[in-house]
Structure 1
Amino acid sequence: MLRRLRRLADSAYERVLRRELGQTPSHVAVIQDGNRRYASKQGQEKTEGHREGAQTTEQILHWCDELDIDEVTLYTFSTENFERSEEELEALFDLITEKFYDFADADRVHEAGVRIRAIGDIGRLPERVQDAVAYADRRTSEYDDLNLNIALAYGGRAELLDATRDVAHRVAAGDLEPADIDDETVSEALYEGPTRDVDLIIRTGGDERTSNFLPWQANGNEAAVYFCAPYWPEFRKIDFLRSIRTYEHREKSWRQTRARRALALVRALGETECAEATRVLRRFRGALPSSERETIDADPVEERDPAAD
C-alpha cells in the first residue's frame, strides 16, 4: 500500500515538475557515480551495481528523447578506473561490451535516431570492447536526432594534453601558424564525439566535484552543475527533472547578470564608448525584472550604427 502511494506521489510530482519546465538544455553530461556503493548497500557484488546502473542509463535516454534534448555524454569509465582490481575490470569490460551491442541493436535506439559514439583513449581498452564500440558506431552512423557519447578510458586533462600535442605537431610541421590558433583549432583536436558545448553536468552519488569531465566542452564555468545524493542505480526521472530545473534557473540568473552588467556599463560610459554592452543589453533585456525594464524604457538606450561615427 505504501509503495503504491509512493508511486502515485512520484507520478504527480513528475507532472508538476514537467509543467514548470520551459527551456531545456541541448547537451547534458552525466557522471554516473555510486554503482559500487549501491551494490554494497544492497549486499550485492560490485558488478551487480554496475549492471543495475546500466538500466538507469537506458532510462535516461528515454527521458532525453521525451524532452527533445539533442546530446548526452555519459562518464562510464575514466582513466583512473584502470586502477581497480583485475576481476572487477574484466567484469566491467564484459558489461560494457554487452551493452554496446544491446544498444546498437535495440529497436528504441533506431526508432529515436540515436547516434552512438565512444570518446576517450579507446586503444587502451580490450579488443572485445573496441569491437563493440566499432559495431555500435557503424550501426548508428546515419542518425543524428540524439547524439549519445560514451566516455571510456576518458580523462579531461589527458584529452587536453593530446589536443595540445596535436596542435604543437601541426605548428612544428609548418601547417599552422601560432597566431592562427583559436578555440576552433583546439576543438577540432579534441576527441571526436561531442558536437556542442555542455549545458548541464549531473553527478549522482553525493560527491560535489566534476572529476576531470569534459573541462573544455563545459566552457569554463558556464555549464550548470547538479549534484544529487542518489546513487546512479537509484536515479529517478524526478531527479532528472530537478536537474533540468537547476539548469533553467542557472540560465535565467546568467541572463540577468549579463543584462545588469551591460546596463551598468552603458550608463557609466555611454552607448558610443560601449556599443557591445548596448547590444548585450538589448539581447538580454527580457531577463530583467519588470521594474528594471521600466527604468530602461523610461530612459531608452538607442543603438547606434558604428559606421555613422
Structure 2
Amino acid sequence: MNVPARLRTAFERAYEGLLRREISGAPKHVAIIQDGNRRYARKQGEDTAEGYQAGADTTERVLDWCAELGVEELTLYAFSTENFERPEEQLQPLFDLLEGKLREFADADRVHEQEVRVRALGDVGMLPERVREAVDYAEARTVGHEGFTLNIALAYGGRNELLGAVHEVAEDVADGSLAASDVDVAEVESRLYRSPVRDVDLIIRTGGDERTSNFLPWHANGNEAAVFFCTPYWPEFSKVDLLRGIRTYEAREESWRRARTKRAVALVRSLAATETEAARAVAGRLRETLPSGDAAEMEEVLESSGETAD
C-alpha cells in the first residue's frame, strides 16, 4: 500500500517527537558504517556515483543532527582497505567525490561557525595524491576548531591498525628504546591511526548487515560500545534512525547501571552479614561511583544489618 507523502511525513514527525521524549541525552562519540550506497543507486536505477553522492548529502544532514543532539565526535567509515579491491571504474568516481567533499567541507561557512575539526583516520598514504592533498587541506583549515570533531576513516582497517601498533611496540622493545614493562594502554593508543579523541559509545551500521566490519576494534570493542543495526541504505538514513540508535545506547547504559548496582548491593549485603567493617569500607567506595538512588539502596542494606556507611 502506498502511503501519501503528507501522511508519511506527519507520522515521522510524531515518531521523532516520541523518540526525543524517550531519550535523555546523547552519546559523546558515535561511529557510523555508511553501508548501502551502491544498492541504493541500483534500486533507484542510477549509476553507482549517484549513490555515493546521495550518501554524501546524508552525511551533511547527520552532522547537523549530531550537533543538535549534543554528540561531540562523529567517525564515518568512508573507505576501507578492502575497498581498494573494487574495479577501477568504481574507485575513480569515489576518489573524485572524496576529494571534492573534503575541500568543499573545509571551506563551508557552517563548518567554521560550528568549530568543526576534520581529521582522517587510516593509512592515508595508500590514497591517490589528489585525495591526500584534500585531506591535508581539510585538516589544515580546521586544525584549531574545538566545537565538534569529525573523523573520516579513509583506507582504514582495524586489524591493520592494531598490527601496525604491535609491530612498532615490538621494534622499540627489541632495540631497547622502550621497556616491556612500560607497554600499557596509553602506549598502544599513541601508535594507532591518529587516535580519536575519546572511546566510541555507539556504532551504527546502515544497509541491513549485522556486523561491524573491522571498524575501530580498539576504541569501540574495547569500550564495549553499543551497536545499532538498521535496514535503510545510507542515503535513506533519517533522523528517526539516529534517534533509535541513541535509544539503543541509552537502554544498554541503563541495563549496565542496573547490573552494576545489583552487584554492588549483593557484595555489601554479603559482607554485612559477617564483616561489618569491610562492608562499611566497600560501601563508602562504591557510593562515589553510583547514582544517589542506588547508593541509598546500599545504605538500607547496611541499616538492616545494624550498620551505616559513614
TM-score (norm 1): 0.91
Q: Distance in 2 between matches of 1:104 and 1:115?
A: 9
Q: CA deviation at 1:44?
A: 1.2
1:32 and 1:232 in contact (8 A); partners too: yes
What amino acid does structure 1 have at the position aligned with 2:135?
Answer: V
Q: Distance in 1 between matches of 2:123 and 2:92?
A: 18
Q: CA deviation at 1:297?
A: 7.0
Is 1:128 the counterpart of 2:130? The answer is yes
Is 1:280 the counterpart of 2:309? The answer is no
1:81-120 map, 5 Å: 81-120=83-122
Query: Which residue in the other structure is 1:68 paired with?
Result: 70
Query: Which residue in the other structure is 1:296 paired with?
Result: 301
Q: Distance in 2 between matches of 1:272 and 1:152?
A: 52
Query: Which residue in the other structure is 1:30 paired with?
Result: 32
Query: Which residue in the other structure is 1:231 paired with?
Result: 233
Q: Distance in 2 between matches of 1:274 and 1:80?
A: 55
User: Could you say what secondary structure the match of 2:218 adopts?
Assistant: coil
The alignment covers a number of residue pairs equal to: 303
Q: CA deviation at 1:208?
A: 0.7
Query: Which residue in the other structure is 1:11 paired with?
Result: 13
Q: Distance in 2 between matches of 1:148 and 1:83?
A: 26
1:123 and 1:130 in contact (8 A); partners too: yes
What amino acid does structure 1 have at the position aligned with 2:289?
Answer: R
Q: CA deviation at 1:6?
A: 1.4
Q: Distance in 2 between matches of 1:261 and 1:72?
A: 33
Structure 1: which 5+ runs fail to align? Answer: 305-309
What amino acid does structure 2 have at the position aligned with 1:299?
Answer: S
Query: Which residue in the other structure is 1:307 paired with?
Result: none
Q: Distance in 2 between matches of 1:277 and 1:203?
A: 40
1:114 and 1:145 in contact (8 A); partners too: yes
Q: CA deviation at 1:20?
A: 2.2
Q: CA deviation at 1:184?
A: 0.7
Q: Distance in 1 between matches of 2:155 and 2:265?
A: 46
Q: CA deviation at 1:16?
A: 2.2
User: Could you say what secondary structure the match of 1:284 adopts?
Assistant: coil
Q: Distance in 1 between matches of 2:115 and 2:247?
A: 26
Q: Distance in 2 between matches of 1:287 and 1:233?
A: 43
Structure 2: which 5+ runs fail to align? Answer: none
2:189 and 2:195 in contact (8 A); partners too: no
1:51-200 map, 5 Å: 51-200=53-202
Relative distance call for 1:210 and 1:281 in structure 2 (3 A) is farther
Q: Distance in 1 between matches of 2:37 and 2:104?
A: 20
Q: Deviations over 1:147-188 (max 9, x none)?
A: 000000001010001111121222123221111111111111
2:207 and 2:232 in contact (8 A); partners too: yes
Relative distance call for 1:223 and 1:156 in structure 2 (3 A) is same
Q: Distance in 1 between matches of 2:93 and 2:295?
A: 54
User: Could you say what secondary structure the match of 1:116 adopts?
Assistant: strand
Q: Deviations over 1:288-307 (max 9, x none)?
A: 599x6785375387557xxx
Relative distance call for 1:293 and 1:11 in structure 2 (3 A) is farther
Q: Distance in 1 between matches of 2:96 and 2:32?
A: 22
2:52 and 2:94 in contact (8 A); partners too: yes
Relative distance call for 1:178 and 1:19 in structure 2 (3 A) is same
Relative distance call for 1:277 and 1:76 in structure 2 (3 A) is farther
1:199 and 1:247 in contact (8 A); partners too: yes
TM-score (norm 2): 0.91
Q: Distance in 1 between matches of 2:11 and 2:167?
A: 53
Q: Distance in 1 between matches of 2:138 and 2:177?
A: 34
After TM superposition, which residue ranges in structure 1, 4 or more long, deviate above 3 angstroms?
A: 273-278, 285-290, 292-304
